[in-house]
Structure 1
C-alpha cells in the first residue's frame, strides 16, 4: 500500500523544530502524529482513491491531508475528532480538485492489489464488469449519499466519525446509509426481479 515504509521523518514532518515547544513535548507530538498517520493513512488513501480513481493523485492528496494535520495536531487530541477532521480535509481537497469540473464517481480503483498485467483476461473482464455493475447501482444515489457510503464501506469509518466530518448527527448518518442501501436494493430488485 502506498505510504507503507514511507517514514514520517523522510517526509520532513517530524524533524523540523516547533517554536515554543519543549523537546519532550515535540517528541510526544511526533509520537502522537506517527500513531495518527499509521492508523489513518490507509483509510484516507482508500477513500481518496475511491473518489478519484487515480492512485498517484490519491497519494498526493493523502500526503496533503497529513501535512495539514501536522499543522493542526495540537487541536486533534480526540481520536474521533481527529479522524473526522482528516476526512473533512480530504473532502475539502476533493471539492477544490473538482471545482469547475463535472462531477463523476470513479470506481475503477476499487479493487486494491489488482494487477492488470498479470490477471487473466477472464479475471480482468470480471473485475471490469463488477465495477461497472457497482457504479451502475450507485448512480441512483445523490452525491452526498455516495460520499457517505464510500466513507462507511470503502474507508471503513464508523457512523460517529462520518457524523463529525459532515456535521450531522450519528442517527442521521445511519439513516442516510440505510436509505442509500434501500435505494440500491430497490434498483437491483427492479432490474433483476428473478434474482
Structure 2
C-alpha cells in the first residue's frame, strides 16, 4: 500500500480493512466515549477517500492516513476539550483467554503501566500510543507528528526508559 500504483488498484473496502482497527485503537486510547471513537474513525475514512487523489506517494500510505487521523483527533479534542481516557480503557482493550487470577494480575499490571504513561510528556505519550496502539513504525510516527525520525526515536527511548524506571518501583 506504499505506492500510488498499488492505490489505484485498491478499493475503499481494502483500505478500510487494512487500517480501520489500528485507527480505532488509536482513537480508543485517546477518547472516552466509544460512539465518538466510532464517529472519528468513520470521519477519517471519509476524509481519506475524498483526498485519495491527493496522496502523492512520497511517504508511506499508512503514515498519510494516520496524519489525517491525528489531525482529526486534534480537531476533536479542541472542540470537546476532552482529555485522554484513563487506564480503564487500556485494560478493556486487552483480551485474554487466561485464568481469572492471571487476568486480574495482568489487568493490574496494565493499569499501572498506563497510569504511568499519563505522567509522560504529551509528545512521549503520542509516540508511545502511535507505536504500540496503532502499531506504526518510527518513520510513520515522525511523518504524522511532523518531527524528524531521530527526535521520535529519542522521545520513544526516553519515554520507555522513564516507564521502565517507574514500573521497576512498583
Q: Check if 1:39 corresponds to 2:18.
A: yes
Name the CA shift for 1:131/1:113 in 2 (closer, same or farther; >3 Å).
closer
Q: How far apart in 2 are the matches of 1:177 and 1:127?
A: 23
User: TM (normalized to structure 2)?
Assistant: 0.78
Deviates more, 1:73-82 or 1:147-156: 73-82
Name the CA shift for 1:101/1:33 in 2 (closer, same or farther; >3 Å).
same
How many Å apart are 1:65 and its aligned residue?
0.2
Instruction: Please provide the CA RMSD for this pair.
Output: 2.9
Q: How far apart in 1 are the matches of 2:161 and 2:131?
A: 15
Counterpart of 1:133 in 2: which secondary structure?
A: helix
Larger Rg: 1
Where is the helix percentage greater, Structure 1 or Structure 2?
2
Q: Check if 1:103 corresponds to 2:83.
A: yes
User: TM (normalized to structure 1)?
Assistant: 0.69
Counterpart of 2:89 in 1: which secondary structure?
A: coil
Q: Check if 1:90 corresponds to 2:69.
A: yes
Larger relative CO (CA 8 A, sep 6+): 1 or 2? 2
What residue is the counterpart of 1:112 in the other structure? 93
Please say if residues 45 and 59 of structure 1, whose CA atoms lie closer than 8 Å, have aligned partners that are also in contact.
yes
Name the CA shift for 1:76/1:36 in 2 (closer, same or farther; >3 Å).
farther
How many Å apart are 1:80 and its aligned residue?
4.2
Please say if residues 32 and 84 of structure 2, whose CA atoms lie closer than 8 Å, have aligned partners that are also in contact.
no
Structure 2 stretches of 5 or more lacking a match? 1-6
Counterpart of 1:31 in 2: which secondary structure?
A: coil
How many Å apart are 1:127 and its aligned residue?
5.3
Q: How many residues align?
A: 162
